[in-house]
C-alpha cells in the first residue's frame, strides 16, 4: 500500500471513530434517538465541523495549540479540585475558571501507559473546557442552535434541544486543536471502566 493510500485510510478511520464516539455521547438522548438515521449523521458531522472550525480560529489567533497558554492569554485560571461532586472537569463562566478533578486526572494517568500520551492528558482536559469558554463568551452554546420538534397540536409546537451536542463539538475542538490521532472520549471511557 502506498504511503498516500495508508495516510488516507488512517484519516477515514479517524473520522469514522470521531463519528462513532459522537454517537455514543448522543445515543442516551431520547430526542436524538427519535431522529431519522440520515438526520443523525448530518447533525453529527455538522457539530463536529463547528468544533473543528473553532479550533482552526483559535490556532490562527493564538499561534499555539497549547490550551493552557491560550487560557492564560484569555485570563482563565486553571486549577485542580478534590470536591466529591466534580467527576471530570468543568468551566465556571462567572469566575473564568477551568477546574479539573484531581481524582479524574490521577485515574487517567494510571490508565494510560504511554509516557508521551500521559504528558498531554492535562492539555486534553483543558482544551475541552476551553471550548465551553468559547461557547459562553463568543459562539453561544452549540446545542441551543438546534431545536427539534417533539410535539405539535395545531399552532402549539414543543421543541427540545440536545445538550450533548455541545459536548460533541468540544470533543471535535479538542481533537483538532491538539492534533490528536485518538478522539478525546476514548480517555473518558478508560477512566469510567476503571471506576467499576
- Are the C-beta atoms of residues 31 and 148 closer than 8 Å to each other? yes
Q: Above 50 in pLDDT, residue 107? A: yes
Q: Would you tell me how many other CB atoms lie within 10 Å of the CB of residue 89? A: 21
The whole-chain average pLDDT of the chain stands at: 84
pLDDT at 135: 96
Domain count, the chain: 1
- Stretch 148-157: mean pLDDT: 92
d(CA 66, CA 83) in angstroms, rounded, equals 26
CA distances from 81 to 30, 125, 187 (A): 33, 14, 19
pLDDT at 48: 96
- Stretch 134-155: mean pLDDT: 94
In which domain, by residue range, is 184 found?
A: 3-195
> How sure is the predictor about 191, in pLDDT bands with cuts at 50, 70 and 90?
very low
pLDDT at 115: 64
pLDDT at 114: 64
79 vs 143, which has greater pLDDT?
Answer: 143
Amino acid at each position: 500500500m502506498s504511503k498516500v493510500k495508508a495516510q488516507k485510510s488512517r484519516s477515514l478511520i479517524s473520522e469514522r471513530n470521531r463519528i462513532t464516539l459522537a454517537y455514543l455521547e448522543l445515543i442516551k438522548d431520547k430526542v436524538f434517538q427519535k431522529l431519522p438515521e440520515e438526520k443523525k449523521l448530518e447533525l453529527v458531522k455538522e457539530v463536529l465541523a463547528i468544533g473543528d472550525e473553532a479550533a482552526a480560529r483559535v490556532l490562527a489567533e493564538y499561534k499555539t495549540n497549547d490550551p493552557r497558554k491560550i487560557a492564560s492569554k484569555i485570563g482563565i485560571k486553571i486549577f485542580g479540585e478534590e470536591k466529591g461532586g466534580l467527576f471530570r472537569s468543568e468551566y465556571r463562566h462567572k469566575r473564568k475558571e477551568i477546574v479539573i478533578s484531581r481524582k479524574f486526572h490521577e485515574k487517567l494517568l494510571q490508565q494510560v501507559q504511554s509516557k508521551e500520551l500521559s504528558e498531554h492528558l492535562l492539555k486534553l482536559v483543558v482544551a475541552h473546557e476551553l471550548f465551553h469558554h468559547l461557547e459562553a463568551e463568543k459562539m453561544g452554546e452549540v446545542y441551543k442552535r438546534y431545536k427539534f420538534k417533539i410535539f405539535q397540536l395545531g399552532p402549539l409546537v414543543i421543541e427540545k434541544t440536545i445538550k450533548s451536542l455541545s459536548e460533541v463539538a468540544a470533543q471535535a475542538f479538542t481533537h483538532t486543536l491538539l492534533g490528536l490521532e485518538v478522539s478525546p472520549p476514548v480517555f473518558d471511557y478508560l477512566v469510567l471502566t476503571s471506576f467499576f
